[in-house]
Amino acid sequence: MPVLYIGLMSGTSLDGIDAALVEINSKGQSQLLGCHYLPYEHSLKSALFNISQASEVKLEQLASLDQTLGKLYAKCILSLLKKYEYSATDIKAIGSHGQTIRHKPRPNAFSLQIGDANLIAELTGITTIADFRRRDIAAGGEGAPLVPAFHQDVFLDFHNPRQILNLGGIANITVLSQDPENTFGFDLGPANALSNEWVERHWQINYDEGGIIARSGTIQQSLLDTWLEIGYFDKSPPKSTGRELFNLPQLEALTPEMNELKIEDVLATLIELTAVSISQGIEKWGYTDGELFLCGGGAHNIYLVERIQHHLLTIRIGRTDDLGIPADMVEACAFAWLAYRTLNGLSGNLANTTGAKGARILGAIYPA
């Protein structure tokens, strides 16, 4: 008999919470039944951004944000249930990724997500599973990306080379293989994080809808060449990254002249950095033919997608909507699936993606 799970995702774009209602049958096959999105208020987004970039963090502020997010996640779930006329007793469990505040790759890796799962379980009355990354880290992995295991389960094609590219704050790719042991994924570099930060600073809007502003600018090759020298791009997988490396102050320290250029030109160059770093990563470690399906908020940036296609002419680009899951809901669906895996004693990581010693059951369980 099919069982219902809810997945929650709030990514490095810091835009809000995606919630997915997912039905999973006895064979582990999943189907999206409904979804809900709850945007962050500007004050919360600013607080989360500031604490994620701060070199020193006040414990009281961190604890307060942890509780604020836990309550907000619960609110999002209750809205989802009301929207589709379900009750808490209909749901087996919630899988919550949490909001990443700090992520440090190996060596000495750690990853911190907040959004109190105790509060989620208490306020919704639903068993909640969270803290998915740290068991993988304990086994020697990066703790990220975790979604490739889900991609392997739902998006594999036995006839064509296929890759899944998530364009959130950070871009990550899954290179699918008919042999699950050979499927792997990794973070390519920045997707929306840098461009959104630049747009919010100069236009006071959350993002450049469709890439209209970026399209009006001119790519500055000297800037781009310097940025592409950042060592992360040449590092071999397994690897992961975040805003700790890819943020505007880091780029401004590297290329202070960027603040003397037209702001539209800098934005166009930031988009080109995403497109080129993606194409170079795929050419080095992925398939250079077949299909590339996009998900995440960046999939809606028409200009960005055009620039990616410009650099990957031999690959057909589509969106995961074509495969049955809306681009904005893939990661939320993944954490519903990961919750199912945890409760059923099944592993949730791909060791050759994270670098862990082996497959591990992920997450901590907070009973209703």
Residue-wise pLDDT for 225-266, tens only, equals 999 999 999 999 999 999 999 999 999 999 999 999 999 999
CB within 8 Å of 27: residues ≥ 6 apart: none
Residue ranges of the chain with per-residue pLDDT less than 70: none
Of 243, 304, 188, residue with least CA distance to 45:
243
Q: Is position 15 annotated in a ligand binding site?
A: yes
334 with 229, same domain? no
Q: What is the per-residue pLDDT across 70-92, written as a single tens digit (0 to 9) for each?
A: 999 999 999 999 999 999 999 99
Q: Is position 14 annotated in a ligand binding site?
A: yes
DSSP per position, 151-187: HHHHH--SSS-EEEEEESSEEEEEE--SSGGG-EEEE
153 with 254, same domain? yes
Rg (CA), the chain: 20
277 with 336, same domain? no
**Full domain range(s) for residue 40:** 3-144+329-366
Q: Is position 12 annotated in a ligand binding site?
A: yes
Whether the CB-CB separation of 172 and 142 falls below 8 Å is answered with: no
Q: Is position 16 annotated in a ligand binding site?
A: yes
Whether the CB-CB separation of 119 and 340 falls below 8 Å is answered with: no
Of 136, 125, 134, residue with least CA distance to 94:
125
CATH of the domain at 130: 3.30.420.40
Residue 355 in 3-state DSSP?
Answer: coil
301 with 155, same domain? yes
**pLDDT at 23 (0 to 100):** 98
Whether the CB-CB separation of 339 and 325 falls below 8 Å is answered with: no
Q: What is the 3-state secondary structure (H, E, C) of 112-151?
A: EEECCHHHHHHHHCCCEEECCHHHHHHCCCCCCCCCHHHH
205 with 307, same domain? yes
For residues 161 and 312, what is the distance between their CA atoms, to the nearest angstrom? 14
**pLDDT at 60 (0 to 100):** 97
**pLDDT at 276 (0 to 100):** 98
For residues 206 and 39, what is the distance between their CA atoms, to the nearest angstrom? 11
Whether the predicted model's global pTM rises above the 0.85 cut? yes
181 with 153, same domain? yes
293 with 193, same domain? yes
Q: Is position 18 annotated in a ligand binding site?
A: yes
111 with 218, same domain? no
Q: Domain total for the chain?
A: 2
250 with 166, same domain? yes
190 with 284, same domain? yes
300 with 355, same domain? no
Q: Are strands 110-114 and 16-24 parallel, antiparallel or unpaired?
A: unpaired
83 with 172, same domain? no
